[in-house]
Structure 1
Amino acid sequence: MKIAVLGAGGVGGYFGARLAAAGFDVTFVARGKHLEAMRTNGLRVISPLGDVTVEDPKAVDDISKVGTVDLVLVAVKLWDTDTAAQSLKPLADQGAAVLSFQNGVHKDEILTRYLPEKSILGGVCYIAAVISEPGVIAHSGTMQKLTFGEYDGTQSKRVQTFYEACQKAGITSEISENIRRLIWEKFVFLVGLSGTTASIRRPIGPIRDNPRTRALLLDVMREVVAIGRAKGVDLPADFAEDRLQFCDTIPATMTSSMHHDLERGNRMELPWLSGGVSEFGAQLGIPTPKNTTITQILELYAAGSKQ
């Protein structure tokens, strides 16, 4: 299986490195100092599950230089999805499957504007990993899981082949027969975690322990569940309560990438997280006061102070 990884950051760099180290033909599409470091010193993953170094990774600066592949893993930031989708059309037209592990629920809707619907697989990733320095990916904790599947629920050959590749690479993986629901399940938790940690500027521990901020976290997630159910996703009515219990099981120091981006002055994925929930609510006539307020609070920081 020939694989291209579009975006070699925390997600793409980690899983791509694991696949490359296992002997699969992986080409990374990266840029800037990270690309230079990969070409000079290789790609290194530092992980509690064992470090990995890909000595001489195949790395290019543009997807057009990848050549023919069987699968493209998309791991760019959400604001780059339109551009990425347009650049992937030649590969999709040649038969490549496209599997996005980006955040949120907008990603595949954007991909289908530019790519054949049959080329798109649904996917969700669970990992805490960042570029700690150019050419180096730092993995926090032991969670590293990919869940993916066909949107029609079939067990296709391409899904099974990628599952076997993940198993060989030591990546925890699972094939889902209802990938749309799983994407929304993660979205409920992600919006709750990102919205509260970024607006409160604290990790999940203090937020879940304080009665008022705990109630805010629950309300934020309830709004996401209401939107999902209105859009036809089969989420249980009390799924936000389930995710609140899940929040009690994660490390107290855990925070969101959006919180990290806020603190570093980076651009944030706000318009596709709490902002996306607020926009869905306006379209559907469903009140989303908590997510709308979070969006308003963070609006002045969404573009990043470095812009």
Structure 2
Amino acid sequence: MRILILGAGGVGGYFGGRLVEKGEDVTFLVRENRKKQLEKNDLVIRSVNNDYSFTPKLITAKDTNEIFDVVLFSTKSYHLENAIKDLKPFVRDHTVIIPLLNGIAHLAALKEAFGEEKVIGGLCFIETTLNNNGDVVQTSKAAKLVYGEFEGKDTERIRKIADAFSGTKADFVLSSAIEKEMWHKYLFITVMSGVTSLMRAPIGPIRESDGGRNIIRQLFTECATIITAYNAPISETIIDDHMKTIDAIGYGMKSSMQRDMEKNAFVEGDHLQGYLLELAQAKNIHAPLLEIVYQNVKVYKKLLQEQNQ
């Protein structure tokens, strides 16, 4: 099975690297600058779950004669449109696309671009970043990628993918309820990224401040109310479950959105909080705390735009 990783950043570089380490046929679709960097330094994973480095198979959007069975679509949401254009030449009738973006909004765009039958569900839990050398640095033990056919279908192609993904040093998990897991993660990442970026602090100081847990729970409640209004398959206990996760994660844990803001980089607020607010407005649901969180994102984007002018 030929596997294509869209990008070689913190997510694609890590999970793709673990598949290479196992012995799978993996290629990375990258931009020219990243290709030059990887050709010079190799792809290096520095991880609490064991380091690994290798010379990756690389292609760019110009190499249109390549064909792949599975694509891990691991770009950021603000690169979605360009990433779709880059990927199109490599997708054939049998190709399966597994998106690993945060949120839900990207599914419609991917299905429209490639066909509904080619897109299955996916998500991941991992804390990684690239250092100045372009190495993938994993800072916590969690490294879980969840995937599955929509509606829990058991197909020949998903069994083949499961076989290819088995036996690595990362957790590739086949799910029979991928829609629910994607909505659950969307709820969690919207709140986690929202409060940490709003308050410019890791989750520990926020939850342990006077009234902090109440604010977190209130945002969970607002977001879950919106999601439920669209009959999304979320658990009745999901707010309590997510609050337990909030209490269990490390004091210094930051969201990727917060880290991006600290680096004056682009953020995924439109794809996360912004999209959820669009759903709320369509159902006339008032979500005042979510509105504040998203306003913070809009102010940050405006300042970033002014700095780059």
TM-score range, shorter chain: over 0.9
How much does 1:90 deviate? 4.0
Q: Which runs of 5+ in 2 are unaligned?
A: none
Residue pair 1:38, 1:134 contacting (<8 A) in 2 also: no
C-alpha distance in 2 between matches for 1:203 and 1:112: 35
C-alpha distance in 1 between matches for 2:260 and 2:154: 37
In structure 2, relative to structure 1, the CA distance for the partners of 1:220 and 1:194 (3 Å cut) is same
Aligned residue pairs: how many? Answer: 306
How much does 1:258 deviate? 0.3
Q: TM-score, normalised to structure 1's length?
A: 0.94
Residue 110 of structure 1: aligned partner? 109
SS at match of 1:302: helix
How much does 1:128 deviate? 0.4
How much does 1:14 deviate? 0.4
Residue 39 of structure 1: aligned partner? 39
C-alpha distance in 2 between matches for 1:156 and 1:225: 31
How much does 1:63 deviate? 6.9
C-alpha distance in 1 between matches for 2:170 and 2:97: 19
Alignment pair present for 1:171 and 2:186: no
Residue 51 of structure 2: aligned partner? 51
C-alpha distance in 2 between matches for 1:90 and 1:153: 29
Alignment pair present for 1:146 and 2:145: yes
Residue 275 of structure 2: aligned partner? 276
C-alpha distance in 1 between matches for 2:243 and 2:188: 8
Q: TM-score, normalised to structure 2's length?
A: 0.93
CA offsets per residue over residues 251-300 of structure 1, 9 Å max, x none?
Answer: 11101000001111001101011222211111122112111111112212
AA in 2 matched with 1:30 = V
In structure 2, relative to structure 1, the CA distance for the partners of 1:35 and 1:87 (3 Å cut) is closer
In structure 2, relative to structure 1, the CA distance for the partners of 1:76 and 1:288 (3 Å cut) is same
C-alpha distance in 2 between matches for 1:15 and 1:204: 26
In structure 2, relative to structure 1, the CA distance for the partners of 1:26 and 1:288 (3 Å cut) is same
Residue 298 of structure 1: aligned partner? 297
Alignment pair present for 1:217 and 2:232: no
How much does 1:157 deviate? 2.5
Residue 157 of structure 2: aligned partner? 158
Which stretch of structure 1 is more off in the superposition, 290-299 or 59-68? 59-68
The runs of 4+ residues in structure 1 deviating greater than 6 Å are none
C-alpha distance in 2 between matches for 1:168 and 1:198: 36
In structure 2, relative to structure 1, the CA distance for the partners of 1:63 and 1:268 (3 Å cut) is farther
C-alpha distance in 2 between matches for 1:156 and 1:31: 33
Residue pair 1:46, 1:138 contacting (<8 A) in 2 also: yes
RMSD of aligned Cα (Å): 1.8
Alignment pair present for 1:208 and 2:197: no
What are the within-5 Å matches in structure 2 for residues 1-307 of structure 1? 1-54=1-54, 56-62=55-61, 64-65=63-64, 67-302=66-301, 304=304, 307=308
How much does 1:60 deviate? 2.0
How much does 1:87 deviate? 3.8
SS at match of 1:297: helix
In structure 2, relative to structure 1, the CA distance for the partners of 1:12 and 1:44 (3 Å cut) is same
Residue pair 1:7, 1:13 contacting (<8 A) in 2 also: yes
In structure 2, relative to structure 1, the CA distance for the partners of 1:66 and 1:19 (3 Å cut) is farther
How much does 1:41 deviate? 2.2
AA in 1 matched with 2:121 = G
AA in 2 matched with 1:150 = E
Residue pair 2:67, 2:91 contacting (<8 A) in 1 also: no
CA offsets per residue over residues 105-134 of structure 1, 9 Å max, x none?
Answer: 112122112111000010010100111134
Which stretch of structure 1 is more off in the superposition, 1-10 or 107-116? 107-116
